[in-house]
Chains A and B, each alone.
Chain A
Amino acid sequence: MNRQLQTIFPRFLAVACILLVVAMPLRSQAQELRFNSGGGPLTLTVQSATAGSEPVDALDNSSEIFWDANFGVPAKMTVSTIAPGQNFDLYLLLSVPSQGAGGQGVVQPEVQLIDGMLDTDLLTGIPSTLPGRQGFGTLEYRASATVSDGNSTELGDDSHIVTFTLLAQ
């Protein structure tokens, strides 16, 4: 019995330590960026106007994004888009509904999403420690088109691939 214990225990200890080696670095460096809700393909449709005025903007706020900026240093979130042959205007505002005691960073003004744009700040100064390190916000999209921009029947829809990036600041 003792001999069996002497054999099994070191093996168990070895396996446990190896798991510890693998798991600890992952746990200590985990960052996260995901959609809390929505996040799927969106379509914003501009479809009405008052005679004599420009068309009414289309709005969508169905997506909520969550982040955990566990970089060990302050972080930020940026946005960019790829939309070849873009004809219409698209804007994005990150609306952070609640700020913790230490704040969750500085929300930037509404960003215009233009094909090929450089990464543009949506949220800066995300704290490196909890609770401010984590947060969530609503993605408020606004599509706008003037009459001089034309319409999708003649020009086709604009298709954007919007990319959000969470990185050390």
Chain B
Amino acid sequence: MYTILTSYGWKCAWIALFLGLASNSTSFSASAQTPPPLPNAIQMAGSSLTLTQSVTVSVQEINEITISSDVSLTIDTATPGTGPDAANDASASFNLTTNGTNKKIVGALDSNFSSGISLKALLVAPTGGSSSEQTLSNVAVDLVNGITRTTATNLSITYTAEATINAAPNGSGESRTVTLTLMDN
């Protein structure tokens, strides 16, 4: 029994050793003798490694608007027989960016002017939008409509100040803040 097992073990050892050398010889020579594949050759299965990664791209809704500068309007002339002449200023402008659809710009004053004094605003609409002149007050009014996915710079704002003959002279003037808001229609 022992003799048989010993003989069997030695046979296994020699066979395994032979296979090992043969296998190693094959693998080493394969890497040394295999010619590089032709350009654009189809790779054999198992000759490449892959790795994957999940990437999500999220784009938030972005609405940005800025106004360029302050303005000052002075009503100081009148035509005899009519009320005081209106004062105009088109020196201000605004920039905007939105990647949303169907937006509008509304405008409002922080507080109303004294009785007999009013301020109107007309904004140039970006491409695709529409605008109209509106009198500003402390209640927001629509100034531009139909703004969709656009960027624009230096769009003009024209202010018009008006006073009736009932408006009291106000010396150095009344300062108000105009707020433009880009929002959903």
A contact set with B: CB distance below 8 Å = 3, 6-7, 9-11, 13-14, 17-18, 20-21, 24-25, 28-29, 31-35, 39-55, 58, 63, 65, 71-74, 81, 87-88, 90, 113, 139, 141, 143, 145-155, 157-169
Residues of B within 8 A of A33 (CB): 49-51
Residues of B within 8 A of A14 (CB): 9, 12-13, 16
A161 to B97 alpha-carbon distance, docked (Å): 31
Residues of A within 8 A of B100 (CB): 150-151, 153-154
With both chains docked as a complex, state the minimum distance between the C-beta of A119 and any C-beta of chain B, in angstroms: 10
With both chains docked as a complex, state the minimum distance between the C-beta of B144 and any C-beta of chain A, in angstroms: 14
A104 to B84 alpha-carbon distance, docked (Å): 80
Residues of A within 8 A of B36 (CB): 73-74, 168-169
Interface size class of B (residues with CB under 8 A): 35 or more
A113 to B100 alpha-carbon distance, docked (Å): 24
In residues 89-147 of chain B, which contact A (Cβ within 8 Å)? 94-101
Quick check: is B175 within 8 A (CB to CB) of the other chain? no
With both chains docked as a complex, state the minimum distance between the C-beta of A135 and any C-beta of chain B, in angstroms: 14
Quick check: is B20 within 8 A (CB to CB) of the other chain? yes
